[in-house]
Amino acid sequence: MSLREHLAELRKRLFISAIAILVGIVAGFVLAQPTIHLISGPIREIAESHNAVLNFDTVTGAFDVTMKIAITIGVVVASPVWLYQIWAFLVPGLTRKEKVYALGFVGSAIPLFLAGCVAGWFVFPHIITLLAGFTPSEAANFYQAGYYYDFVLKLVLAVGVAFVLPLLLVLLNFVGVLSAKSIIRSWRVAILVIALFCAIATPAADVVSMFLLAIPMVVLYFTAWGIAWMHDRRLTKSQLALDPEVAT
């Protein structure tokens, strides 16, 4: 394909993706109010024992939050379409081996990311409730709606991305950048980093939530090492079959 044909193909893919996202945003507007009600659940629980309210402190505050929610839902709902468009644009330029790696990575990353987002979703109410416990009895909690939504979204996305990181280790191993020995050699550092991340995501006083979040991340790390170890072992056997002198 010529440069002009590549640009035309890119424009076509971007146009289809944009239409899908716009349709998703329309659906997001319909679901915005139920979503606000859902994420403000912890605030209503706090309000039962303490003065707490979700506050829109500007004239456009409610509209801004509605737009943020609509755009987020639109991008998520349209993700099968725009992910496919990215894949369809890149595939012609990949080798057969690269296609297999890319397809395996995307096919595994999506469910892992969604699982991480679900874990973050179940953890965030505990964080809100715990942090509200530090409010003095004579004070009140006024949660600025825009900041509150950003906090919940960033937390859920951060946990989702954290669940995908072990898969990145596997990919780096498959392309020859990282060996299984290097992965397992750093297991103490990895567990420390996971513990620190979980301590930040789930304040230290909430030990149960911290462990519920840390355990699957540690399991995923060692699973990544196991897959990398099997890959390295198979690669070594292939090299020995081709050249027995490699063993020496």
What is the crossing angle of helices 3-39 and 79-90, to 10°?
160
pLDDT at 207 over 90: no
Can you give the pLDDT at residue 178?
82
Please check the confidence at residue 247 and state whether its pLDDT lies above 70: no
Flag whether pLDDT at 153 surpasses 80. Answer: yes
| pLDDT on residue 80 | 83
pLDDT greater than 80 at residue 169:
yes
**Distance between CA atoms of 220 and 44, rounded to whole angstroms?**
35
pLDDT, residue 171, reads: 81
State the Cα angle at 168 between 215 and 155, rounded to 5°. 55
**For residue 203, is pLDDT > 60?**
no
Q: How far is CA 36 from the centre of its chain?
A: 21
Q: What is the pTM of this model?
A: 0.73
User: Average pLDDT, stretch 80-97?
Assistant: 79
Among 144-158, 192-206, 212-226, name the one with the lowest average pLDDT. 192-206
The pLDDT of residue 59 is above 70: yes
Buried b (16+ CB within 10 A) or exposed e, 207-225: eebbebbbebbbebbeebb
The two structure tokens encoding residue 146: 């825009």
pLDDT category of residue 18 using cuts at 50, 70 and 90 = very high
Task: Give mean pLDDT, residues 164-174.
Answer: 84
